[in-house]
């Protein structure tokens, strides 16, 4: 059969000799270093012409022919990638053959669905900064992977995705799982949710594309990258050698002018009610020590977005907690009262800001905002800025701390601002503590969270799933070590924590790894317990059973006058609430399962679970009618916003 490259040629730039051509996206010019071809889109690495046309001087050649799969396997080894995760199919067996002799150096893990592998790699990167490799076969495999890729992209997490494609000789034939209709291809489908997608069309393409991809993944705002790989190229050969990683990557963590930082510090320290906001960018940059140093030097209180939670230990004297609709009252009250806020790596999304309605979380203006972000498109997106600074969170915070020490910038601790904040802290404690001692049945969620906080060791990794479980964690989980709270804040895919906790276990094999999940989210990924048993990855699933998709049911109650449909789990024939027997499910897969119906049972069960070396599910039957305390607001236009249940709106 003749090669059929032509359906892909329409995506190439005729003026580009290298074949690396952006497709269907805008450049983020100053976000990424110049010269790195960082266009978020797809790239055609050439077409399937004969070997003499395919080989180019940009590809270093070796004396021996190498298969495409061996180039990939050897490169992953050079990048020190410790794990590759994926689900085998006919479009992936060529890749796996190259890894066969490297399993002593690159461990292969096969979750029971592709999406789970993506969630695991996502959490692994958030904890280590090391991208893993994730693969799929053709057709449905890449589609299954897309949710976890989007989840990582939205939260600036990264992994290397390689998906199978029909052989280069079968393009546009309608071969099994060929995505030929309407000129479709996997690269164009992945383009909106990766930093870049490469269409690999000959073995030689891998030599340049692999180091480029790994550099791009980790540069600037991290994100996943994608290869669309015809599966014949795994087995075809070319006279090339496996490339080396880029030896001297561009230093993108550059500082800004000292004069700019001095101006920002002067504005901040001359305020009567200053705050520092640590967004998710602080976590992405791993700038925990730099944040702590600046806050302590200035004696200025710190609060976080949900994505920034655990930027400081919960008990640090300057940490006010999370601000937002379901945030913590001291942080939210301080945010709407502040006169100057220094925001580091924060997007100011709707859940954090009270849907941008003045007085619920923010009053900007008159509050003056200094916004620092690595992505200039984020600066001023949702609020006007007094100062906008393009910079890396870690570099900026280190620079600001150095300048503040040299100039002696400092807010007096015990100032009226600090005393006012202490009053809000006392109000919040007085509100929370009775719930934390509750003995009611079904179980009060805040009692369960209080027991988890008392029992969990300082190195416990908490991976939230999505739903009410996530919100209980936002308000009441108390991280003791910076960076060990993980959540999905942008795409917010259910199942993230249920599967992602196994990625945490890979990253932190000697730490307790826990996910707080709901009955709805667990049922999306119940097979992860089988994976945990198969690969000896003991983790703990604390499953809050309220027989509902609780967050959405609560929204129906609040916004639609209690008209509930499709949000409670009910046996249609009996009309009674129904769920599977979760402990028996865990036991059937080789794990441990425990059902807790009284609050006094939970503490001992949880303590045993985090000490045991066995994957353990703890089902906790919680009060399904306990509503989340609202300290800000959230609006679903055109319906009017909900009012706070603790605190009140304050317009300045």
Assess if residue 427 is contained within a domain.
no
Please report the pLDDT score of residue 255 as a whole number: 79
Q: Comparing 318-327, 407-416, 427-436, which segment has the lowest mean pLDDT?
A: 407-416
The closest of 201, 194, 189, 198 to 217, measured between CA atoms, is 194
State yes or no: pLDDT of 85 exceeds 80. Answer: yes
Please report the pLDDT score of residue 247 as a whole number: 83
Say which CATH number the domain at 547 has. 3.40.50.970
Integer Cα distance of 581 and 595 in angstroms: 9
The closest of 145, 143, 141, 136 to 92, measured between CA atoms, is 136
Assess if residue 162 is contained within a domain.
yes
Integer Cα distance of 630 and 505 in angstroms: 33
* pLDDT bucket at 409, cuts 50 / 70 / 90: confident
Q: Comparing 157-171, 195-209, 259-273, which segment has the lowest mean pLDDT?
A: 157-171
Assess if residue 31 is contained within a domain.
yes
Assess if residue 637 is contained within a domain.
no
Residue 23 and residue 120 in one domain: yes
State yes or no: pLDDT of 35 exceeds 90. Answer: no
Please report the pLDDT score of residue 627 as a whole number: 87
Residue 307 and residue 232 in one domain: no
Please report the pLDDT score of residue 411 as a whole number: 81
Condensed to tens digits (0 to 9), the pLDDT of residues 498-552 reads: 999 999 999 999 999 999 999 999 999 999 999 999 999 999 999 999 999 988 9
132: DSSP letter: P
Assess if residue 514 is contained within a domain.
yes
Burial letters 76-91, b for 16+ CB under 10 A, else e: beebebbbbbbbebeb
Integer Cα distance of 630 and 613 in angstroms: 38
Q: What percent of the chain has pLDDT over 90?
A: 80
Assess if residue 534 is contained within a domain.
yes
The pair of three-digit structure tokens given for residue 150, joined into one six-digit string: 């989007």
Look at residue 164 and give its three-state secondary structure: strand
Residue 210 and residue 318 in one domain: no
CB atoms within 10 A of CB 648: 12
Q: Comparing 36-45, 414-423, 499-508, 590-599, which segment has the lowest mean pLDDT?
A: 36-45
Q: Containing domain of residue 558, as a range?
A: 441-621
Q: CA torsion angle for 228, 144, 494, 603 (degrees, to 10)?
A: -100
The pair of three-digit structure tokens given for residue 276, joined into one six-digit string: 């520092």
Integer Cα distance of 268 and 301 in angstroms: 12
Integer Cα distance of 475 and 367 in angstroms: 25
C-alpha separations of 196 from 193, 218, 451, 521 in Å? 9, 12, 44, 30
Please report the pLDDT score of residue 95 as a whole number: 95
Assess if residue 391 is contained within a domain.
yes
Residue 413 and residue 380 in one domain: yes
Residue 457 and residue 335 in one domain: no
Check: CB of residue 276 under 8 Å from CB of residue 285.
no
Residue 344 and residue 207 in one domain: no
Choosing from 356, 387, 422, the residue where a domain stops is 422
Please report the pLDDT score of residue 413 as a whole number: 62
Please report the pLDDT score of residue 249 as a whole number: 60
Residue 445 and residue 416 in one domain: no
Contacts of 321 (CB under 8 A, 6+ apart): 303, 304, 314, 327, 328, 330, 331
Residue 463 and residue 361 in one domain: no
Condensed to tens digits (0 to 9), the pLDDT of residues 553-567 reads: 988 998 899 999 999
Residue 474 and residue 393 in one domain: no
Assess if residue 652 is contained within a domain.
no
Residue 95 and residue 164 in one domain: yes
Mean pLDDT of all residues belonging to the chain? 89
* pLDDT bucket at 177, cuts 50 / 70 / 90: low
Integer Cα distance of 496 and 519 in angstroms: 13
Please report the pLDDT score of residue 84 as a whole number: 98
Residue 56 and residue 163 in one domain: yes
- Counting the structural domains of the chain, the total is 3
Residue 75 and residue 214 in one domain: yes
Say which CATH number the domain at 286 has. 3.40.50.1220
Burial class of 169 by CB neighbour count within 10 A (0 to 12, 13 to 18, 19+): middle
Please report the pLDDT score of residue 594 as a whole number: 98
What is the secondary structure of 241-294 as a DSSP string? -PPPPPSS---------HHHHHHHHHHHHT-SSEEEEE-HHHHHHT-HHHHHHH
Integer Cα distance of 426 and 423 in angstroms: 5
Q: Comparing 361-370, 409-418, 424-433, which segment has the lowest mean pLDDT?
A: 409-418
Integer Cα distance of 13 and 22 in angstroms: 8
């Amino acid at each position: 059969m003749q090669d059929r490259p032509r359906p892909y040629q329409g995506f190439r730039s005729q003026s580009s000799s290298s074949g690396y051509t952006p497709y269907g996206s805008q450049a983020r010019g100053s976000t990424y270093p110049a010269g790195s071809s960082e266009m978020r889109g797809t790239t055609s690495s050439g077409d399937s012409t004969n070997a003499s046309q395919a080989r180019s001087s940009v590809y270093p050649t070796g004396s021996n022919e190498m298969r495409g799969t061996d180039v990939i396997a050897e490169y992953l080894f050079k990048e020190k990638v410790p794990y590759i995760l994926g689900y085998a199919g006919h479009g992936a067996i060529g890749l796996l053959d190259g890894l066969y002799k490297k399993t002593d150096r690159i461990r292969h893990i096969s979750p029971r669905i592709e999406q789970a592998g993506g969630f695991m790699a996502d959490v692994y990167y958030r904890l280590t900064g090391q991208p893993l490799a994730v693969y799929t076969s053709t057709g449905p495999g890449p589609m299954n992977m897309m949710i976890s890729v989007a989840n990582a992209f939205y939260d600036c997490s990264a992994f290397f995705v390689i998906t199978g494609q029909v052989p280069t000789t079968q393009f546009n034939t309608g071969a099994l799982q060929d995505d030929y209709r309407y000129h479709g291809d996997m690269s164009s489908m992945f383009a909106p949710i990766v930093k870049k997608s490469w269409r690999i069309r000959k073995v030689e393409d891998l030599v340049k594309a692999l180091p480029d991809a790994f550099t791009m993944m980790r540069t600037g705002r991290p994100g996943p990258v994608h290869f669309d790989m015809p599966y014949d190229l795994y087995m075809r050969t070319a006279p090339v050698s496996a490339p080396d990683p880029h030896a001297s990557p561009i230093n993108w963590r550059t500082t800004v002018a000292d004069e700019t930082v001095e101006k920002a510090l002067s504005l901040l320290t001359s305020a009567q009610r200053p705050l520092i906001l640590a967004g998710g960018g602080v976590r992405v940059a791993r700038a925990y020590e730099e944040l702590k140093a600046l806050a302590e030097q200035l004696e200025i209180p710190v609060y976080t977005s949900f994505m920034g939670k655990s930027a400081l230990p919960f008990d640090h004297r300057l940490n006010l907690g999370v601000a937002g609709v379901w945030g913590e009252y001291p942080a939210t009250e301080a945010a709407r009262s502040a006169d100057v806020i220094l925001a580091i790596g924060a997007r100011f999304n709707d859940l954090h800001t009270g849907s941008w309605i003045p007085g619920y979380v923010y009053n900007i203006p008159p509050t003056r905002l200094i916004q620092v972000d690595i992505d200039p498109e984020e600066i001023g997106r949702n609020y006007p800025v007094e100062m906008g600074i393009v910079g890396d969170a870690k570099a900026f915070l280190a620079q600001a701390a150095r300048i503040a020490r040299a100039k002696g910038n400092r807010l007096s601790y015990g100032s009226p601002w600090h005393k006012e904040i202490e009053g809000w802290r006392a109000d919040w404690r007085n509100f929370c503590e009775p719930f934390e001692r509750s003995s009611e049945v079904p179980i009060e969620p805040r009692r369960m969270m209080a027991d988890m906080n008392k029992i969990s060791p300082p190195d416990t990794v908490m991976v939230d799933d999505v739903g009410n479980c996530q919100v209980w964690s936002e308000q009441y989980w108390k991280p003791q070590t910076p960076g060990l709270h993980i959540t999905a804040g942008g795409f917010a895919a259910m199942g993230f924590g249920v599967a992602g906790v196994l990625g945490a276990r890979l990253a932190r094999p000697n730490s307790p790894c826990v996910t707080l999940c709901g009955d709805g989210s667990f049922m999306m990924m119940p097979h992860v317990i089988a994976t945990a048993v198969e690969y000896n990855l003991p983790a703990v699933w604390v499953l809050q059973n309220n027989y509902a998709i609780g967050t959405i049911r609560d929204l129906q109650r609040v916004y639609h006058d209690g008209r509930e449909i499709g949000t409670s789990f009910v046996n249609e024939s009996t009309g009674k609430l129904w769920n599977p027997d979760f402990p028996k499910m865990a036991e059937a897969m080789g794990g441990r399962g425990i059902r807790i119906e009284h609050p006094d049972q939970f503490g001992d069960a949880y303590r045993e679970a985090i000490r045991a070396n066995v994957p353990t599910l703890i089902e906790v039957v919680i009060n399904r009618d306990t509503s989340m305390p609202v300290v800000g607001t959230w609006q679903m236009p055109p319906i009017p916003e909900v009012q706070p249940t603790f605190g009140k709106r304050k317009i300045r």
